Chain A
Amino acid sequence: MGDSAADTIINGLDKAWAIVKDNKPDSSAKTSFCQAIPGKIPFNELYGWKNESMPFSYELKNKLGITVIDVQLQLDCLWYGQSTKARGLFLNNFNVWCKSCDVEWGWTLNIDATVSGNAFNSGSKDAPVGAIPLIVSVQAKTMLINTTKSWKFTCHGNGARDVA
């Protein structure tokens, strides 16, 4: 790890993408990512990455008690990225995508991911930790209702993860 701390942390990748579009998983979601890496260090000079995956799901029933929406999602990221040029732990390939999606009669589902603000340092000045918040928003609607649900996932370069 470098002697000086990374001074800027950036997201040079995507800021928003569709995860489910009109009841179907969006294939581009698997290759849409955000990151929190040092601004002045080329990506290929970062090393030490560790994989992290977290499955989660969303389910909704109708008034008949039938499960009308059953979606399996997955959060992936690489964390613990380091550089010989600057101190800090960084985050890359932070992604949420849809593994499977069942939407029944009368219902329409859309799910989007949006980076909330900028990548930031969630550590200290001397020991930076790259972090970035990603909001995953679900919109389920019928002729009669429009119901929403969202999660805010903040992944950190030290492996920490906040869900709000």
Chain B
Amino acid sequence: MNNRRHVAQLRMAAVVGVIVLAGCGSQAPSPSTANTGTAGKNGEVHLTLITFQLEDAQGRPLTMSAVGVITSPQGPWGRVHEDGTVTSPDGALRGKLLPTGSVVDAQGSELATIADDGSAKVGAKELHFDADGKLVGGDPSQAMQLRATDPGARRIAMLVLIMAELSPTKQ
């Protein structure tokens, strides 16, 4: 009987241990460790969500709120989460920024890479936002302007731009 109780206690301790470990992995980053895209302590991305607006060639705005909600003139387009995931309005996973800087789609295929400074490589294209927020390196006929007060917005803006301007079909 004592042996059975001991085994049950060990099992309970193991379960509690797993819950504690899982809890550590999903902790929100503290402000001191948060940034706009480097890997956190557990090898995960911790994004600080910053309000910004991207203006396309026709002057139409795409905005991201301080909680990561992406809104186009048409309505909600999805959400960026602190762990680097990007979801559609129905909550479905659409992509993720990995600690390595890779942006992958829901199937895990790499779409692009984004550096800490917000510069990106999408196929053969190398892109970055210049000091005025103008996107440099893409199709010059398709102007794109970033409006943000915090330069840290560049990396998240690039992530949103990539998810919004690539199509699921093979290019």
A interface residues with partner B (beta carbon < 8 Å): 23, 60-66, 68, 104-108, 140-147
Contact = CB atoms under 8 A, between A and B. Distances in A.
Given A63-B164, A65-B78, A143-B144, 6 more contacts: A60-B167, A62-B168, A64-B164, A105-B62, A105-B77, A142-B139
Contacts of A106: 54, 56, 60, 62, 142, 144, 161, 164-165
Interface in B26-58: 54, 56-58
B58 A143 contact: no
Contact of B165 (A23, A65, A142): A142
21 contacts: A62-B166, A62-B168, A64-B70, A65-B92, A66-B77, A66-B78, A68-B164, A104-B73, A105-B164, A106-B54, A106-B161, A106-B165, A107-B165, A108-B57, A108-B58, A142-B142, A143-B127, A144-B122, A144-B161, A145-B166, A147-B167
Interface of B: 54, 56-58, 60-62, 70, 72-74, 77-78, 86, 88, 92, 94-95, 105, 111, 122, 125, 127, 135, 138-139, 141-142, 144, 161-169, 171
Contacts, number: 101
B92 A145 contact: no
Given A105-B74, A142-B139, A147 B169 contact: yes
Contact of B162 (A60, A104, A144): A144
Contacts of B57: 108
> Helix, strand, loop or mixed for chain A's interface?
loop
A64 B167 CA distance: 9
B78 A143 contact: no
Contacts of B58: 23, 108
A21 B109 CA distance: 33
Given A104-B72, A142-B142, A144-B138, A62 B161 contact: no
Contacts of A107: 165
Nearest to B144: A143
Contacts of B92: 65
Contacts of A68: 164, 167
B27 to A, nearest CB: 28
A64 B138 contact: no
Contacts of B54: 106
